[in-house]
Amino acid sequence: MKLDFHSHILPGIDDGAKDIEESIQLLDNMAADGVDLVVATPHFYCSKTTIHKFLERRNNAYEKIKPYLKPEHPKILLGGEILYNHALVGNDDLDKLTMQGTGFMLLEMPYTKIDEKIIRGVESMIEDQGMKILVAHIERYLNYTSYKSLCELMDLDVLGQINAESLVHFKSRHRCFKLIKEGYVQVMGTDMHRIERHYPSLGEGMDIVEKKFGKGILKDFEKNGIAMLKDRSYAQIIG
Ligand SMILES: [Fe+2]
């Protein structure tokens, strides 16, 4: 089963697909790749909009593409890519930003050093607010923070996602391999934005992982993804 946990396929809501036509083209490509399920995760910035307005716009964007969806397209679940902000810690509505049917939130870290305050903020979301966290494209933050501080974040009860694109590029591929080896990666995504950028498919990324680690790791990713969709706990997934 091919599961894509990170995408910007909804039209006109962020820097992803600009209109319905582009959304459908992206979904056609995913269908050709054999993707079974994709989570639509438009960007959410709490400094720019409210949770209520974001959900309204996201749901409207989904309604727009619904009549054009084809049987071969992957199943779409609604979610969001939530940029961490200290202002979100303690927010009672955080659970509304989770992936449809689950308690998992795709959390994007700020593009700065991951410091103690951020780590304690994420910890509070988990322990005080009962959130389940999937950290988005964990390999990316190494451009901004040390491996040590990324590990401190990932050593919390969080799951990790990597982008297929990062596996295709030589420099980031080795970071991804290291993070997979350390057990910090549970699922993958394409982070697909625009058709013109020719994002690598999920399949391309999966092939690279398989070549390095064997089929077993892809089975693990699939198992983890299915467990997330069933809203299993962190301990059930990692244990
Ligand atoms: Fe993204």
Taken in order of first residue, the domains within the chain and their CATH numbers are 3-238 (3.20.20.140)
Name the pLDDT band for 197 (thresholds 50, 70, 90). Answer: confident
| Cα 233 to averaged position of ligand 1 atoms, centre (Å) | 24
Give pLDDT, residue 59. 98
| Cα 158 to averaged position of ligand 1 atoms, centre (Å) | 18
| Cα 182 to averaged position of ligand 1 atoms, centre (Å) | 23
Q: Work out the percent of the chain whose per-residue pLDDT is above 90.
A: 97
| Cα 43 to averaged position of ligand 1 atoms, centre (Å) | 7
Name the pLDDT band for 36 (thresholds 50, 70, 90). Answer: very high
- For residue 191, how far is the Cα from the chain centroid? 7
Residue 69 in contact with residue 11, Cβ under 8 Å? no
Rg (CA), the chain: 17
Question: Which residues are close to ligand 1, an ion, with C-beta < 5 A?
Answer: 81, 191
Give pLDDT, residue 171. 87
| Cα 163 to averaged position of ligand 1 atoms, centre (Å) | 9
| Cα 6 to averaged position of ligand 1 atoms, centre (Å) | 6
| Cα 226 to averaged position of ligand 1 atoms, centre (Å) | 21
| Cα 117 to averaged position of ligand 1 atoms, centre (Å) | 23
Query: What's this model's pTM, rounded to 2 decimal places?
Result: 0.97
Instruction: Of 83, 60, 87, 70, give the one whose Cα is nearest residue 32.
Output: 70
Residue 69 has pLDDT above 90, yes or no: yes
| Cα 110 to averaged position of ligand 1 atoms, centre (Å) | 12
pLDDT, tens digit, 9 for 90 and up, residues 157-196: 999 999 999 999 998 999 999 999 999 999 999 999 999 9
* Strand ranges in 164-202 using DSSP code E only, listed in sequence order: 187-189
| Cα 131 to averaged position of ligand 1 atoms, centre (Å) | 20
